[in-house]
Every structure is written in structure tokens, then in C-alpha cells.
């Protein structure tokens, strides 16, 4: 190993840039969170919010600690979960369009939750538990079915698309047979929204996010080697099968838990990775940056959906709208040599 | 050898279709006998209850016949043009494009007439097909199957969130959309049949006359050009036929997926790639598959029924996954 410092100047510079970009994103996130806590049906000043949070004042305590705080936290946590998981799938499958919501990883959760909402009338807590299990089960099936003699990213994507078509048919059928007044609830859940988040579901999501994020961060070097292709990764000493399985397992956990609590918020998993790459470049694994971008998107989308439009839309509709422009952007990029 | 296979397959297909037609007319909440069908066809004994049941079911059967054939041929054309074994209107996102335009029409312009449905659905389908194809052609390697599939899926996702934005605030639109988005041939009337029949016949004739060119296209593009084929014109015409067939069916029946995927794939596997018999057989088997799915839907959904669009997806998606598992990794 050479010790000549001038060789590392470029790397160090990029690292410093990455860290400063992360700080900037964090700052924006804090600002947005404050905005979400203070503005709404009734506006509070930032001091009032701080007083309520430290327990020195009771004015608006219910609104802030019971409604807005859980909502904001849920937005941040689910944004992190979707953003990180999406980025990992896109990196592992080497295709910027291959995010988990497009290749059907989250449909298992959705089917289970829609069934529970429409036909069993279960409470939100039980619905979450069931949809977590269904989500993990379906993701495992997709992985298992696509793994014939060896792992193939393309086959995984196509099997996922097939599974998604199958489950969408089931969902359509259930929506058709359900009582009319339950349908809007299910539709809202399916686009992903943050209404009615209860505080007691958050600690679990928090633990899952922290645990998975730590695992993923520990595996980040392996993940970067995997982007070179299996053969190179093996030469570099990465235990390909274990690393890949662990990464997929962590992402599936993130997706399943977040989906169970907020519903599949569309486009977050799809967009966070590419946006983070665009901002920070490709010289690192972009795990934290895509997490922050995901949180920003969910929080921003929820703010717009709640406060800035004539009708109140669930966050998933707002963020989902970003998907179409992004695809068009990819098309335009093509003129400049972009690629899928 | 190939010819013999084709003849056997044609014979078997006709038989299957006949069975499907008879079953589709006789089986249901009220079962009727064969003699009633004969009475109904010959317009005898028109006051009998069973005869009227048969007469009420005939539009549905006829519509299923045409819709199934349209979807089968449309899938075949798309697969041939893109040289892609897994092209299908639903996989390529064309159905969602048509849906978006129809929903826009329902919500903002209060369209109700059949021609408006067909027109909007056609425009939507056409634009989406172009968009998805462009998106998939990005980067090196051109529009490979995997890129087409994933571009279609991504476009579908993006478009469906626009649909929910339009649908969500208005519950009456939501109700209309909810019933339309599940493809079904159950509500077909004689008027619907008259609307899609001319399109079907036109597209069928054009695609049959293109069959030689399509055969040539299977060689490489360079070879086709040196053989004097107008590659782009052939492709454009065939694509137009495919989109017309799929768009008219979607406008009338809602999105019905996977018929266009399964049928041509299996038939191509059996008789090879000669397009003239391929087109005809895809039509015949497409009709049979759609009618049989419709009948299965009536069996599983008793006492009501399960819409044929759901049935084809529930049968088709596993077939799709099987096809992928069998395919070589390199060809994906």
C-alpha cells in the first residue's frame, strides 16, 4: 500500500463533499420537520412546539404530541425505510427502474392489508402484523422461484412483475366485491398515507429501521463490490451469496414493516436512490443519502398533500406523481448518453 | 411435418372453441340444454324462458369470441415486432395508458358514448406504447425483453398514481372506474359487438397480409432491408394493428391481461414462426382461452361470477412465471 498522500486527495475531497451534502440534507430535513410540526389546521410558533415537547406548556399538547409528532416521525422513518431498500434493490439488480414497488416486493403486504381492511375489519395494529408476515413471505417466494440454478437479476425482476400482476388481480377482485363504503379506505391505504398513525406502532418501526440500517451500513463495502459483478466480487473476497441474501433480507424487512404501517407510498423507493446518486455521485454506496432523500420526499409530499392543495390527498398520490416526470427525464437524458 | 402439426392444431382449436361457445351459452346461474340453443338460433319457440336465457347470453359469447381473438393477435404482433417473448398489452403498460385517458374522459369531459371510449383508449394506448418502447430503447443493447418489461411496469406505476389523483376526490368517477378497471365481457351488448367488429376485421386482414413481411422481419434487420423490405413501414403497420386490436377491446371490456401473452407464446412453441397460421391460431385459441376463463369465473364465483379479466390474470400470471423459469438466463 502506498503512503503517498497526494493519491488520496481526490478520495478525501469526495468524502468531505459527501459528508457536507449529508449535513445539508439533514438540515433541510429538520427544517421540513419543524414546518410539519408547526403548520396545519392551526398554526403554532416554533417556541410553542418546543415548550409542549419539553412539557412546560400544555397549549395544543394533544394536537402536537398525539397527531403531528407521530405523523412526522412516521414520515421520516418510512421514508428512510423505502429510500434505503429501493436503493439496495436498484444497486443489486443493476437497473435504476428495478425498485421493490415495481417488481412486486411490497404487493404481498398490500394484498394482506386490503383483505384485512375490506373483509375482516381488523384494527390497524393487527393489520400491520399480518401484512409484515405476508410481505416477507411473498418476497421470499419471489426470490425462491427466480433462483433456479443460479441467481439471475433479470429473472428476479420478471418473476416479480408476474407476481405483481397476479396479486393486482386479487386486489381488484376484492375491491370489486367489497362494500362500497370500505373501498375509499382501502384505496387510500393502497396509495400510502399517514393518517391515523398511532404512537405505539412507531417504536417497532424505529427498531427495525435502526437494526436494518446498521446491518446494511456494515455490508456497504460488499455491496459496492457486488456492483462490479459476481465474479469480481468473489475475487475481492466478498462472500457473494451471504452478502446478497443479507442485503435483500434487510431491505425486505424495511419494506414490509414500513408498508404495514403507512401503506406502499409510491415512488419513494423508486426515486430516492437515483436522486441521491445524482446529488452525491457514485463514489460511495449512497445508503445514508438515499435514506435522507427518502425521508425528505415523504415529509415534503405529506406537507404538500395536507396543506397546499384544495383537496387533501394522501402522501402517496403526491409522491406518485413524481414518477412520471422522472421517466420522461430519463428519456431526455438519453440524448446525452443516459442508460438504463 | 410443420404443416401436419398446424392442421392438427387448427382442428383441435376449432373443437375447443366450439366446446367453449356451447359451454358459454349453456352454463351459468340458469343452465339450459342443447335443444334450447338450437331453438334460439333458429328463432323457434321464442316465448320459452330458456330460449330467452340463451338469447341474452349470445352477445356475451360473441363479444368474448372477438375480444379473445383480438387480444391473442395483438399479443402476437407485439411479440413479433419487439422480438420479445414476453410482450403483452398489460406487461407493456398499454392498458394503463388507455385507462388513464378513459378516466380523464369520464372525470373531466363526462364521456359516455362508445366511440369516445374507443377513441380515447386508442390515443392513450398508442402514446403509451410509443413511450414505453422509447424508454426501453435507452442505453445500449436496444429494447431487450427485460428492459421492455420493466419500462412497462414503471410507466404503469407512474400512470396509475395519476389515475388515483383524478379518481380519488370524486366518488362517482371512482365507482365507474372501479367496475371498468376489472376487465369483463359480462356486460357486452349487441351494440358493443357492432363497434368492435369493423376494427377487428380490418386489423385482421391487414395483419394477415403482413404475415410474409413479418416472417422476413424475423431474420435480422439488415437482412430484411437487403431483401427489399420496408422495415419501418412494416413495423409501424403491425404495431398499429396490434394497438387497435388491444385498444378497442380495452375500451369495451376493460383491461384483460395475459391472454395476449400466453396464447401466442404457446402456439409459437408448437408450430414455429410462420405468421399466417400463427395469426389465425392465436385468434382461435385466444377466443377459446377468454371464453373458458369467463366460464371458469362463473364456476368459481358462484352464485355470482368472477370477472374474466381477473380470471385471465390469475391463470396467466403463473404461466408467465413458468415461461420465465424455463427461459435461458442469457435470453432475458
CATH number at residue B221: 1.10.3470.10
The nearest CA of chain B is from the CA of A106 a distance in Å of 13
In chain B (332 residues long), the average pLDDT of successive 10-residue segments reads 78 87 77 70 68 77 89 89 78 84 84 80 88 78 74 83 79 75 75 85 90 83 81 85 87 83 84 85 90 85 77 85 71 49
The nearest CA of chain A is from the CA of B235 a distance in Å of 22
Euclidean distance between CA atoms B246 and B260, whole angstroms: 9
A311 shares contact with chain B (CB less than 8 Å): yes
Q: What is the per-residue pLDDT for A338? A: 44
Name which of B140, B304, B313 to mutate to probe chain A: the one with the most chain A Cβ atoms within 10 A of its Cβ: B313
B174 contacts in A (CB within 8 Å)? 183-184, 187
Residue A281 has pLDDT above 80, yes or no: no
CA distance readout (Å), A327 to A79, A97, A153, A267, A331: 21, 9, 21, 11, 6
User: Quick one: which of B233, B299, B168 has its CA closest to A186?
Assistant: B168
Within 8 A by CB and 6+ apart from A266, the residues are A101, A191, A192, A316, A319, A320, A323, B157, B161
* Residue B160 covered by a domain: yes
pLDDT tens string A111-161:
888 888 788 777 767 877 888 888 888 888 888 887 777 777 778 888 888
Among candidates B139, B306, B329 on the partner chain, residue whose Cβ is nearest the Cβ of A340 = B139
Q: What is the per-residue pLDDT for B81? A: 84
Domain boundaries, chain A: 12-307
Which residue range forms the structural domain that includes residue B318? 62-331
Q: What is the per-residue pLDDT for B29? A: 65
Task: Given the cut 0.95, state whether the ipTM is greater than it.
Answer: no
Residue pair B214/B275 in contact (Cβ under 8 Å)? The answer is yes
How many cross-chain Cβ pairs, A to B, lie less than 8 Å apart? 166
Listed by number, the residues of chain A in 216-275 with a beta carbon closer than 8 Å to a beta carbon of chain B are 266-267, 270
Mean pLDDT, rounded, of chain A = 80
User: Quick one: which of B240, B294, B169, B321 has its CA closest to A148?
Assistant: B321
DSSP A116: I
Q: What is the per-residue pLDDT for B1? A: 53
Cross-chain Cβ contact B138/A338 below 8 Å:
yes
pLDDT tens string A185-217:
777 777 777 776 767 778 888 888 999 989 988
Cross-chain Cβ contact A169/B146 below 8 Å:
no
Instruction: Note if the bond before A336 is cis, omega within 30 degrees.
Output: no
Q: What is the per-residue pLDDT for A340? A: 45
Residue pair A153/A95 in contact (Cβ under 8 Å)? The answer is yes
* Residue B14 covered by a domain: no
Cross-chain Cβ contact A158/B159 below 8 Å:
no
Euclidean distance between CA atoms B259 and B310, whole angstroms: 11
A165 contacts in B (CB within 8 Å)? 90-91, 257-258, 313, 316-317, 320
* Residue B35 covered by a domain: no
CA distance readout (Å), A47 to A41, A54, A57, A58, A76: 18, 10, 10, 12, 22
List the single residue in A with minimal CA-CA distance to B133. Answer: A331
* Residue B30 covered by a domain: no
A327 shares contact with chain B (CB less than 8 Å): yes
Q: How far is CA A37 from the centre of its chain?
A: 22
List the single residue in A with minimal CA-CA distance to B181. Answer: A172
pTM score, whole prediction: 0.81
A159 contacts in B (CB within 8 Å)? 321, 324-325
DSSP B330: G
pLDDT tens string A235-260:
888 888 888 888 888 888 888 888 88
Residue A40 has pLDDT above 80, yes or no: no
Residue B218 C-alpha cell reads as 424475423
The nearest CA of chain A is from the CA of B306 a distance in Å of 8
B179 contacts in A (CB within 8 Å)? 176
* Residue B244 covered by a domain: yes
Q: Which residues of B256-265 are buried (b: 16+ CB within 10 A; e: fewer)?
A: bbbbbbbbbb
Among candidates B140, B150, B316 on the partner chain, residue whose Cβ is nearest the Cβ of A98 = B150
Residue A280 has pLDDT above 60, yes or no: yes
Among candidates A158, A266, A320 on the partner chain, residue whose Cβ is nearest the Cβ of B86 = A158
A145 shares contact with chain B (CB less than 8 Å): yes
Count the domains in chain B: 1
Q: What is the per-residue pLDDT for B73? A: 92
Within 8 A by CB and 6+ apart from B210, the residues are B234, B237, B238, B241, B275
Provide CATH code, domain A12-307. Answer: 1.10.3470.10
| Residues above pLDDT 90, as percent of chain A | 2
A156 shares contact with chain B (CB less than 8 Å): no
A332 shares contact with chain B (CB less than 8 Å): no
Residue A173 has pLDDT above 50, yes or no: yes
User: Quick one: which of B66, B6, B87, B38 has its CA closest to B252?
Assistant: B66
Q: Between helices B308-326 and B259-271, what is the axis angle to 10°?
A: 40
Euclidean distance between CA atoms A163 and A105, whole angstroms: 9
Within 8 A by CB and 6+ apart from A229, the residues are none
Cross-chain Cβ contact A97/B310 below 8 Å:
no
A168 shares contact with chain B (CB less than 8 Å): yes
User: Residue A337's pLDDT band (boundaries 50, 70, 90)?
Assistant: very low
Among candidates A161, A324, A339 on the partner chain, residue whose Cβ is nearest the Cβ of B158 = A324
Euclidean distance between CA atoms A100 and A270, whole angstroms: 8
Euclidean distance between CA atoms B275 and A203, whole angstroms: 61
Euclidean distance between CA atoms B253 and A203, whole angstroms: 47
Among candidates A145, A321, A330 on the partner chain, residue whose Cβ is nearest the Cβ of B321 = A145
Q: What is the per-residue pLDDT for A268? A: 86
Other CB atoms within 10 A of residue A203 CB: 9
DSSP B61: H
* Residue B213 covered by a domain: yes
* Residue B290 covered by a domain: yes
Cross-chain Cβ contact B157/A270 below 8 Å:
yes
The nearest CA of chain A is from the CA of B91 a distance in Å of 8
Alpha helix segments (H runs only) across chain A: 9-38, 46-54, 61, 69-92, 107-115, 124-146, 153-177, 183-191, 202-218, 220-226, 230-235, 240-262, 268-280, 287-303, 315-321, 323-334
The nearest CA of chain A is from the CA of B109 a distance in Å of 20
A42 shares contact with chain B (CB less than 8 Å): no
Q: What is the per-residue pLDDT for B135? A: 81
For residue B215, report the phi and psi dihedrals to the nearest 5 degrees.
-60, -45
The nearest CA of chain B is from the CA of A321 a distance in Å of 6
Cross-chain Cβ contact A157/B306 below 8 Å:
no
Euclidean distance between CA atoms B237 and A338, whole angstroms: 29
* Residue B53 covered by a domain: no
Amino acid at each position: 500500500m502506498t503512503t503517498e498522500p497526494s493519491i488520496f486527495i481526490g478520495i478525501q475531497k469526495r468524502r468531505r463533499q459527501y459528508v457536507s451534502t449529508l449535513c445539508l440534507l439533514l438540515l433541510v430535513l429538520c427544517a421540513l420537520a419543524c414546518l410539519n410540526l408547526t403548520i396545519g389546521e392551526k398554526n403554532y410558533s416554533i417556541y410553542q412546539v418546543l415548550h409542549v415537547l419539553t412539557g412546560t406548556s400544555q397549549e395544543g399538547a394533544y394536537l402536537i404530541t398525539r397527531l403531528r409528532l407521530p405523523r412526522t416521525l412516521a414520515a421520516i422513518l418510512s421514508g428512510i425505510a423505502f429510500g434505503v431498500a429501493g436503493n439496495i434493490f436498484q444497486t443489486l439488480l443493476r437497473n435504476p427502474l428495478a425498485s421493490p414497488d415495481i417488481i412486486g416486493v411490497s404487493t404481498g403486504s398490500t394484498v394482506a392489508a386490503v383483505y384485512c381492511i375490506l373483509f375482516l375489519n381488523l384494527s390497524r395494529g393487527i393489520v400491520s402484523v399480518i401484512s409484515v408476515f405476508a410481505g416477507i413471505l411473498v418476497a421470499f417466494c419471489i426470490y425462491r422461484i427466480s433462483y433456479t440454478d443460479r441467481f439471475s437479476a433479470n429473472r428476479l425482476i420478471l418473476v416479480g412483475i408476474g407476481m405483481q400482476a397476479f396479486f393486482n388481480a386479487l386486489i381488484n377482485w376484492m375491491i370489486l366485491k367489497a362494500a362500497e363504503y370500505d373501498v375509499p379506505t382501502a384505496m387510500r391505504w393502497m396509495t400510502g398515507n399517514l393518517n391515523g398513525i398511532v404512537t405505539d406502532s412507531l417504536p417497532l418501526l424505529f427498531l427495525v429501521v435502526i437494526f436494518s440500517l446498521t446491518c446494511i451500513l456494515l455490508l456497504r463495502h460488499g455491496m459496492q463490490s457486488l456492483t462490479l459483478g459476481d465474479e469480481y466480487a468473489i475475487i475481492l473476497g466478498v462472500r457473494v451469496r451471504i452478502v446478497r441474501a443479507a442485503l435483500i433480507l434487510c431491505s425486505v424487512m424495511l419494506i414490509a414493516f414500513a408498508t404495514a404501517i403507512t401503506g406502499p407510498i409510491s415512488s419513494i423507493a423508486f426515486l430516492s436512490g437515483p436522486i441521491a446518486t445524482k446529488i452525491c455521485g457514485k463514489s460511495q454506496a449512497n445508503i445514508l443519502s438515499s435514506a435522507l432523500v427518502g425521508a425528505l420526499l415523504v415529509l415534503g409530499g405529506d406537507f404538500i398533500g395536507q396543506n397546499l392543495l384544495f383537496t387533501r390527498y394522501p402522501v402517496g398520490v403526491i409522491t406518485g406523481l413524481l414518477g412520471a416526470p422522472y421517466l420522461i427525464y430519463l428519456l431526455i437524458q438519453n440524448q446525452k448518453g443516459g442508460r438504463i | 411435418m410443420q404443416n401436419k402439426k398446424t392442421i392438427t392444431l387448427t382442428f383441435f382449436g376449432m373443437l375447443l372453441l366450439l366446446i367453449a361457445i356451447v359451454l358459454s351459452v349453456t352454463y351459468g346461474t340458469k343452465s339450459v340444454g342443447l335443444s334450447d340453443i338450437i331453438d334460439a338460433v333458429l328463432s323457434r319457440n321464442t316465448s320459452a324462458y330458456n330460449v330467452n336465457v340463451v338469447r341474452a347470453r349470445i352477445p356475451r359469447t360473441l363479444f368474448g369470441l372477438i375480444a379473445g381473438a383480438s387480444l391473442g393477435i395483438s399479443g402476437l404482433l407485439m411479440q413479433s415486432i419487439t422480438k420479445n417473448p414476453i410482450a403483452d398489452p398489460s406487461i407493456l403498460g398499454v392498458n394503463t395508458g388507455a385507462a388513464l385517458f378513459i378516466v380523464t374522459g369520464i372525470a373531466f369531459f363526462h364521456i359516455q358514448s362508445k366511440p369516445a371510449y374507443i377513441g380515447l383508449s386508442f390515443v392513450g394506448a398508442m402514446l403509451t406504447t410509443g413511450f414505453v418502447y422509447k424508454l426501453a430503447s435507452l442505453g445500449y443493447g436496444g429494447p431487450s425483453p427485460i428492459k421492455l418489461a420493466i419500462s412497462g411496469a414503471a410507466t404503469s406505476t407512474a400512470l396509475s398514481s395519476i389515475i388515483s389523483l383524478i379518481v380519488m376526490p370524486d366518488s362517482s368517477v371512482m365507482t365507474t372506474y372501479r367496475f371498468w378497471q376489472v376487465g369483463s365481457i359480462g356486460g357486452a351488448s349487441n351494440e358493443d359487438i357492432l363497434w368492435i367488429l369493423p376494427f377487428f376485421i380490418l386489423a385482421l386482414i391487414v395483419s394477415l397480409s403482413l404475415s410474409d413481411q413479418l416472417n422476413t422481419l424475423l431474420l435480422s434487420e439488415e437482412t430484411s432491408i437487403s431483401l427489399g423490405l420496408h422495415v419501418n413501414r412494416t413495423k409501424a403497420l403491425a404495431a398499429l394493428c396490434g394497438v387497435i386490436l388491444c385498444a378497442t377491446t380495452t375500451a369495451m371490456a376493460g383491461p384483460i391481461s395475459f391472454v395476449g401473452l400466453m396464447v401466442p407464446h404457446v402456439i409459437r412453441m408448437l408450430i414455429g414462426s410462420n405468421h399466417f397460421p400463427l395469426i389465425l391460431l392465436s385468434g382461435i385459441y385466444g377466443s377459446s382461452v377468454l371464453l373458458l376463463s369467463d366460464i371458469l369465473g362463473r364456476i368459481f364465483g358462484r352464485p355470482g361470477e368472477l370477472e374474466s379479466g381477473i380470471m385471465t390474470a390469475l391463470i396467466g400470471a403463473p404461466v408467465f412465471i413458468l415461461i420465465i423459469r424455463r427461459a435461458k438466463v442469457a435470453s432475458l
